[in-house]
Amino acid sequence: MTSERNSPHDPQAGAQPAPRETGAPSDAALPSADVALVIAFITQLRRVFSAPSYRPPLLPTVALEVHQLSLRSDVGADQLVEVLERDAVLAAQVLRVAGSAAYGGWGQDDISLKVAVVRLGMRNLASVVWEVAAGMRVFRSARYAVAMEQIRTHSTMCAHLCRLVASRKALSTETAFLCGLLHDIGMAATLLVLSDRPKDEPSISPGVLDEVLRQTHQEVSGMIAQLWKLPAEVQNVLANHHSFPAGQPPHPLSAAVAIVEELSRDLGHGVEIGAGRCDRVVPETLARAREVLGFTEEQEAELRETAEKLAASVTQDLAPGKPKPVPSPAAKTASAPAAAAPSVAAKSAVPHHARLSLWRRLGRMFGGK
């Protein structure tokens, strides 16, 4: 973390975050030398993230625009197409998903962005765009490739589970999806910063890295959301999904993220570094989350059953080495920007089609919007 881009400038960077309602696992199990390293890394990371020179991982403004438009009732397909055409890679991926088996495939003459937008619907479109954008631009680090893949898979699962919980509790399903997808962005951003360390520096032990992420990622997630200018509600949830601010009721979506994060972890889709505590939700927080949402035992059992099916689908679709389907030739599309990037899209494609089919069925089970 010695590059000019990451040099510290803010003397208040080491300030402690606001008091929390609930705690987190103690770091007492670490050797004293490792505890000192953890403190040193956390102090430096806070300086880096609060420095005016810090730039968060790139996230296309197109994703946020599509999300905002999807919340409006007066927006038509033409407006969404106009926004999507500004990002060729995202447009190509929207075409690819809309032409998957889950949506009946493409014919010879009907391939266009407008048809794709109509097929997906505004809510599905926003989810697809966010997931593709995050997968391409955020969860990428050669130095921490395994951890980044765990974060991406975990976040994808949490996004869809959050949407299902929101549909049960009369919350915004679109905002819930976004919160689930980006709640651990602080982990990804931290790993990207640590990737900039000179290669001749000693590697960080898994135990120290796990503890650093545990203590900082919630705070950093909130900071990144603010830098991205995400909606204030999303900033609040991302900054408070492991512990809740003292003296005020937790946001219902913070409670939803806490519940689905621990459920995802319990089903084998957590982030396992060192002792694997970095994404653990402590029992006190979980109990408070269930209380806030009024979760009944029946609803929790139904959510778990759904999560198990989703976990099986994610495991199958994201298995390492699984051949990725090749998208249809972009030359057939009626969108010039989308046709301009078929090779890039093929490299970064996420196999959505099987999961989308499953998620649509699960959405109907939960009465999703």
- Domains, the chain: 30-365 (1.10.3210.10)
Task: Give the pLDDT of residue 335.
Answer: 33
Greater model confidence, 348 or 196: 196
25, pLDDT greater than 70:
no
- State percent of the chain over pLDDT 70: 75
Separation of alpha carbons 352 and 125, rounded Å: 12
Nearest alpha carbon to residue 305 among 351, 356, 366: 366
Greater model confidence, 35 or 1: 35
Task: Give the pLDDT of residue 273.
Answer: 93
Sequence-separated (6 or more) residues with CB below 8 Å from residue 312: none
77, pLDDT greater than 90:
no
Separation of alpha carbons 244 and 131, rounded Å: 26
Separation of alpha carbons 100 and 175, rounded Å: 25
Greater model confidence, 168 or 339: 168
232, pLDDT greater than 80:
yes
Q: Are 21 and 267 in contact (CB under 8 A)?
A: no
Q: What is the dihedral of CA 40, 43, 46, 52, to 10 degrees?
A: -100
Nearest alpha carbon to residue 242 among 176, 184, 317, 177: 184
Mean pLDDT of the chain: 76
The average pLDDT across 116-127 equals 82
Q: Are 65 and 323 in contact (CB under 8 A)?
A: no
136, pLDDT greater than 80:
no
Backbone angles phi, psi at 210, to 5 degrees: -60, -45
Q: How confident is the model at residue 190 (pLDDT cuts 50, 70, 90)?
A: very high
